[in-house]
Structure 1
Amino acid sequence: AVLTLDDFGIDLIIHPEESTAVEVVALLRRAAATDIIDFCGGRVQLVGVRIDSDASVIGMKLQELAQRSPLPFRVMGIARGARTIVPDGNATIQANDQVFVIVATGQVGQVTYMLGKEGRRLQRCMILGGSNVGSRVAAGLSSRKRRDGGMEVKIVEADRDRAEHLAELLEGVLVIHGDPSDIDLLVREGLSEMDAVVALTEDEEANLVSCLMAKHLGVRKTIALLSKSAYIPISQSIGLDAAVSQKLAVSREVLRFLRGAHVQSVATIQGLDAEVLELIVEEDAPITAAPLMEQNLPRGMLIGAVVDENVEIATGQTRVRPGAKVIVFVTPDRVSDVETLFRADGRA
């Protein structure tokens, strides 16, 4: 007989390398985004965008931004330096802000354009490090045809045996045997001609340096594997476009599993002191009592979307219905208060 997880007493299996690779591929397919997280079975996405110093939206209030755009969206949070802001309509956008927007899937490009980002697709990518994450990213990028989002991929790996294995495994990927931290080697192999560089070695300092050099040479998108929280402010100050973490991928899965049946998913984001929850609304839960504008919701939380048969980006007139899934942005000190709103018995 085929053994199942229950036979071993296992409730959940987590694959951090796969989760991290999927995140990297999504970020490369949406060049302007710093973060992309799916909710509600892929029907809603949270998109992170860093605001350029010359963006036309600088100084604009969020309510003005909403009035100018026909696109239904909601700014859920703003990372400004070390601060996490849960914004209202009077909050203004500043240069170098990292703005997190909830939007229906398929409208990410419109969001990034609205925030001043160009929409050109990335076509050439260099991956530094042929780990399990690196090989999965390479496979994900090279498996599609160019017109469907596929890319020309090079991968640099220090271990000769591993490089030879990757060369056999990855069809259509150029595998280079060499030190991924050797800048001279990377330049000779066309670093300055790349649209994107993804540094996925175990040496996080080298990942930062490689991405810094890539930015200096004009590479449009840089992504680094970083796990140490101390590196996040540094990565933002040097212009790193996105950071991914296997530890964070594991924590998301574990948090979702431990929170209970009414919590469908939990997302945490590097550099952001907040969580994004996907909650199922129980019958007679307090949140269903009245439209959102008539409720005394706790500070530090923001409801972004309500999803059942349709996707509704939340406004003050939105009325949350039992059985719907709701996306909530919340600071850590308010998580239990928020969960109480969605339970029939009013308990966390």
Structure 2
Amino acid sequence: LRFVDHPEPGPAWERFLAQPPEFAAHAVPTLSITGMYDDSSGGTLRNWRRFAANAPADVVASSHLVVGPWDHMGTHFGPGQVGELVFGPDATVDLPALRRDWLRHVLDGAPLPEFLRDRVMLYVAGSEHWVGAPSLEAATTGSADRWLRSVAGPMDVLHSGFVDDIAVDGPTATFTCDPHDLRTARLELLPRPAGSGPESPFHGQPMNSFVATQAGNDPTSSRFVLEIDGQGLVYTSTPLTEDLVVVGHPELHLHLVCDQPDVDLSVLVHEITPDGASIFLTSDLLRLSCRHLDGSHDWLVPGESTAIGFRGFKWCQRRVRAGSRLRVAVRHASSIQMNAYPHGRPADAPVARVQVLHDAARAPRLVLPLGDG
């Protein structure tokens, strides 16, 4: 298998996953641990769902999933902080001790660790406490729709569109995607003071990274939204009048027209607190020709409207407090850590021009999963 030949999910990758008959033969309970800011959470949760659906019922009943507030490194030790985002005291969990005590329970019949009081344990940031659920699906108890409304102008942070409770007519909003535009790369190369962001064992100092921001590893940085500069669109809600507890995978549905057959897009969703701080909630990254997520390539027809569903958002579990705002950015996905993608054309392809439609019938719709916490 050549990785570069299969950038999309689908059959080429499915054969490397444990298959239903293998799960059905599974006789050993599982303890899976991930975090809301873990860049590998998607794989952990997908594997858990496959395991829960196909393993013997008694094995699933003896297994547990823990979704903390941590990043990937944090899933080893359970600290109470990711980058500059600090959680409440309950977020700090001695994970090595939890694993040890769980193994003693499974192998030697010792008592089940008190922490694992339910099949699924979730840390709801913002509320700063743990909640339990009988399954991952049961943690999401409802949903709320929000519509993105455009305004005339550049649609950046200073001239933002709106996140509304109803769909209304608005002007078509346009941005460009240029694989040879180096502005994002230059931003990523700017040094940051020590302690100003997540430390990486692969770099000598904290760095601006579009990929790390997309993955949630840098949850208080909004640099790639603040400096969007015509490479995307920004929408901001009015202050929330009541708390919003988001638990699950959001979705974004929109209609767009592109003058190229393909393009890479990113969606970033943040909470903006009353004091102006930015907190990462979730994100999605999509090559539009791979939008069906089944291994197929469905090229855009240049100049024609296409319905696009972003259905691969990261799992989110956070109480967004009244007084905070929601901010949504839709932008070109570009980074020094990603290959420049020429929109399905030769390497000298022209800039892609993306138009997002905002008439009331096709207004972009953000679906927020809701839960308890």
TM-score when scaled to structure 1? Answer: 0.28
TM-score (norm 2): 0.27
Q: Give 1 or 2: higher strand fraction.
A: 2
Report 1 or 2 for greater relative contact order, CA contacts < 8 Å, sequence distance ≥ 6: 2
